Amino acid sequence: MSDALNPRYGTIDGEYGLRLAGTSAEDDGPIWMVNLMRYREVADYADGRETTVSGREADDRYAPVEILGDIGAAPVFFGDVDQQLLGSPTWDRVAVVKYATRRSFIDMQSRPDFHLAHEHKDAGMAETIVMGCLPLPYPTAPPDVAFPDWADVEHPPTAQDGPITVVHVMRFADAAAALSVPDEMEAYASAIAATAARQGARVAGWFAVEGTIIGDGRAWHQVRFNQFPSKRAFLALAADPERQRAQAEHREKAIADTYTVLVRPAIDLIADSIRS
């Protein structure tokens, strides 16, 4: 039998779980759970049943949309990974669920219908990281930086290469900077602002990681969701000499560990979820 409290796909941080469960009502509020998911090639059910279902298909069977609706939660981002540029392991999907409160996330774990559905997640998931996150302010662009419509950029969205979201998961060398923008990262953002804007880059949302409820023991500080009109637009920015110089001079000094994942979103409500 699968066990949501002792999953095979990661280690639960009991201390952060107690924090989620013990937050007082007056101090509680929305929490965004960011999920990085890597699937088994073939689902492996704990009861030993034979199956030809893939890990991805098993996780699709899990998808607790009705349960989330019952507790006032909703998926605000979901998509398959198109390409991963940095970090190991290699993830297959990224999803974000906004919960009305931290307590509601914990209460969901005790529902009988959640436990019934969880066997599919346990069977399909090889590894996952689930981070509780809160929105962060992000630097505004200089007043002389223009943001063209995506139809007017060099690499606009097409039927073959539509919008893409670049997800950065970061641990900074200076842990004290986790709840802000480290100086080196701010210098990096300022240096590339005009170049990124020309390629149609937009910030969907930046988040501070409050804690990692399931993972591999590593701590993370921030998750950033940046939108581009196409994969070609992002790759053009990545190859730009000015951006590469800024990365070497600033970004690489600030970051101790990171994932950079390009995601084709099927659901993309990050920005709306922060405003509402």
pLDDT single digits (tens) 234-272? 999 999 999 999 999 999 999 999 999 999 999 999 999
In a domain, 40, yes or no: yes
* DSSP SS3 for 144: coil
pLDDT single digits (tens) 132-176? 999 998 767 677 778 899 999 999 999 999 999 999 999 999 877
In a domain, 236, yes or no: yes
Q: What is the pTM of this model?
A: 0.94
Domain hosting 115: range is 11-134
Cα 229 to Cα 5, 47, 157: the distances in Å are 40, 45, 5
In a domain, 54, yes or no: yes
Task: Please give the tally of structural domains in the chain.
Answer: 2
Query: What's the pLDDT score for residue 1?
Result: 45
Contacts of 198 (CB under 8 A, 6+ apart): 148, 153, 154
Query: What's the pLDDT score for residue 12?
Result: 95
List the one residue out of 123, 116, 121, 124 whose CA is nearest residue 45: 123
* DSSP assignments along 158-196, one per residue: -SSS--EEEEEEEEESSGGGTTS--HHHHHHHHHHHHHH
In a domain, 106, yes or no: yes
> Are 126 and 142 found together in one domain?
no
pLDDT single digits (tens) 76-134? 999 999 999 999 999 999 999 999 999 999 999 889 999 899 999 999 999 999 999 99
- Span 38-50, mean pLDDT? 95
Domain holding 81: CATH number?
Answer: 3.30.70.100
In a domain, 3, yes or no: no
In a domain, 193, yes or no: yes
Query: What's the pLDDT score for residue 156?
Result: 98
Is the model's pLDDT at 4 over the cut of 70? Answer: no
Q: Which one of 103, 134, 165 terminates a domain?
A: 134
In a domain, 4, yes or no: no
> Are 183 and 84 found together in one domain?
no
* DSSP SS3 for 197: helix
In a domain, 5, yes or no: no
